Structure 1
Amino acid sequence: MSPTGAAVRTGVRRGVIELRNTFTNGQDLWNYFFPTFVLLVAMFFMRGATVPGTQFSLGARTLPSALGMGLAFGGMLVLAQQLVVEREDGTLLRAKATPNGMLGYLVGKITLMSAVALVSMLVQLVPALFFLDGLRVTSPAAWFTLAWVAVLGLVATLPMGAVVGSLIENPRNLGLVMLPTMGLVALSGIFYPINSYPGWLQAVAQVFPIYWLGLGMRSALLPDGMAAVELGGSWRHLETLGVLGLWAVLGLVLAPIVLRRMARRESGSRVAARRERAMQRVA
């Protein structure tokens, strides 16, 4: 087996081990699934409201949007957070010290985050089916669309999460990423259609993958008639494929470059200095 193939295999094995540890750790389960519970509660209380101009439940319209948002958050923010924390505690330095260790580390994280994101989707989708009506869950075409949007969305967001995590040294600076991301969620039509927004805000929302992940999920699970309340009056599958594909290519090109540069700068003295600063913050 080639060194690269061995690193990928080791990375997948590492990801499976981390996944097992995650699902047996109460704190990790709380961190991953409490936001899902909050969204389910919100959609339960939204089920009686309707999308403007229709009789369709606003809660049912929000569910697929929230699934797309969860993929974006897991891909970009959670992976970035893990990279920053494990850069500070020396995990990345240990990975760097082994042959093709950074590749194996990245493959492991992608395996872990992809599995967690998909499980989170199911945890949110299955209970919602008991109190939300009108979702297309019996159509094979709906599940096919859900699958390709989810896979492409992960490919579009996970490498960018690795880029963001590589650029941030201090975990306290993660808030600088969280705030703009929450702003994008508000702009991206996750909880309410953006047709009434000014044109320039609509344009900003459509640059980033959060909007397209939400739109793609809605196209999978909502009736065809609900496309009328979307921009352009259609689900725009080709545009979804194109924008998410562009983000995937951008991330796959940038992530290895940024990760290699970050790994070259890592040293025992830098890790020790970060640990000392962390201890001073705690004290």
Structure 2
Amino acid sequence: MTPTATAVRGGWERGRTELRQSFTNGTELVGHLLWPTLMVIVTVFLRNTSFGGTGFLLGTLVLPSVLGMNAAMSMVSISQQLTADREDGTLLRAKATPNGMVCYLIGKIISVAGGTVVDLAIFLVPSMILVSGLATGSVGSWLTLAWVLVLGLLAALPIGAVLGSMFTSARGQGLLTLPILALVGISGIFYPITALPDWLQWVAQVFPVYWLGLGMRSALLPDSAVSIEIGQSWRHLETIGVLGAWFALGLVVAPIVLRRMARRESGSAVAQRRERALRRIG
């Protein structure tokens, strides 16, 4: 077996182990349950609210959009985990192992992607029961949801890895969360994007969050709901193009950034960060 194949196999096993541990650790299990539960509550509160004079219920429109948003937020999850592992020396240990960084990155992608899929299921199953008007009766709807989710995760996770490499401390992650939340706010997640000014619509369409929401809406909403979208089209080709472009960019940039970050890691750097953290606590 080649070194690369060994690293891929090791990354797969690492990812499976981390994913299993995240559902047996009390704190992480609460995290898996809390956010989907809050989103279910928000969706239920909106289920009887009409959007203008369109005849569509806002809760029905929001449900698939929230799925897309949560998939996009996987970039924040992997960024936070990478920063925490850098701070406590996990990345340094991975760096010291042959092909350790490849193994580490594959494992992290598998664990974060797996956790995201489970979180989406926790949100989707009760929401489908509580919210009416979804078009979930065809195989095509589920196939569309599947390819949008896979492509969206492939686009989001490398971006998150790049963003995570920019922070040496988990405390700095707040600088990332606020812009992401602002982007969610203009991406048509909780209110149709066509209600926003044209220039904000253009800004939102540059980033994956909008396209993930659009793709999920195309999968789960009836065809008539396309009337409230930009150009009155689900724009599947554009969705593939934008998400694919972000995935390709991540494939090029992420390995370069992570290699440079790993080269800067040393025992003294980890010790200094640990000392600073202890001083903050004490």
**Aligning the two structures, in what range does the TM-score lie when normalised by the shorter sequence?**
over 0.9
Q: Within 1, Cα distance between the matches of 2:8 and 2:278?
A: 35
Q: Match for residue 165 of structure 1?
A: 164
Aligned-residue CA RMSD (Å): 0.8
AA in 2 matched with 1:4: T
Q: Give the deviation of 1:241 after TM superposition.
A: 0.5
Q: Give the deviation of 1:240 after TM superposition.
A: 0.5
Q: Match for residue 104 of structure 2?
A: 105
Q: Within 1, Cα distance between the matches of 2:76 and 2:30?
A: 16
Q: Give the deviation of 1:30 after TM superposition.
A: 1.4
Q: Within 1, Cα distance between the matches of 2:131 and 2:50?
A: 12
Q: Give the deviation of 1:196 after TM superposition.
A: 2.3
AA in 2 matched with 1:114: A
Q: Within 1, Cα distance between the matches of 2:144 and 2:100?
A: 35
Q: Give the deviation of 1:53 after TM superposition.
A: 2.7
Task: Provide, for residues 112-162 of structure 1, a one-character-per-residue CA deviation record: whole Å limited to 9, x for no partner.
Answer: 011111111111110011111111211111011000000000000000110
Task: Provide, for residues 33-84 of structure 1, a one-character-per-residue CA deviation record: whole Å limited to 9, x for no partner.
Answer: 211111100111111102223222211111110000001111x101000000
AA in 2 matched with 1:2: T
Q: Match for residue 32 of structure 2?
A: 32
Q: Match for residue 43 of structure 2?
A: 43
1:161 counterpart SS class: helix
Q: Within 2, Cα distance between the matches of 1:47 and 1:71?
A: 22
Q: Within 2, Cα distance between the matches of 1:231 and 1:196?
A: 10
Q: Within 2, Cα distance between the matches of 1:31 and 1:84?
A: 18
Number of aligned positions between the proteins: 282
Q: Equivalences for 1:1-283 in 2 at 5 Å?
A: 1-74=1-74, 76-283=75-282
Q: Within 2, Cα distance between the matches of 1:51 and 1:227?
A: 14
Task: Provide, for residues 214-236 of structure 1, a one-character-per-residue CA deviation record: whole Å limited to 9, x for no partner.
Answer: 00000000001000001111111
TM-score of the two chains, using structure 1 as the length reference: 0.98
Q: Give the deviation of 1:111 after TM superposition.
A: 0.6
Q: Within 1, Cα distance between the matches of 2:165 and 2:261?
A: 6
Farther-moved stretch of structure 1 (271-280 vs 44-53): 44-53
Task: Provide, for residues 193-213 of structure 1, a one-character-per-residue CA deviation record: whole Å limited to 9, x for no partner.
Answer: 121211111110000000000
Identity among equivalent pairs (%) = 57
1:53 counterpart SS class: coil
Farther-moved stretch of structure 1 (183-192 vs 113-122): 113-122
Q: Give the deviation of 1:174 after TM superposition.
A: 0.6
AA in 2 matched with 1:65: S
Task: Provide, for residues 167-187 of structure 1, a one-character-per-residue CA deviation record: whole Å limited to 9, x for no partner.
Answer: 111211111111110000000
Q: Within 2, Cα distance between the matches of 1:103 and 1:53?
A: 52
AA in 1 matched with 2:62: T
Q: Give the deviation of 1:13 after TM superposition.
A: 0.1
2:73 counterpart SS class: helix
2:130 counterpart SS class: coil
AA in 1 matched with 2:197: P
Q: Within 2, Cα distance between the matches of 1:123 and 1:264?
A: 39
Q: Within 2, Cα distance between the matches of 1:193 and 1:216?
A: 14
Q: Within 2, Cα distance between the matches of 1:246 and 1:193?
A: 24
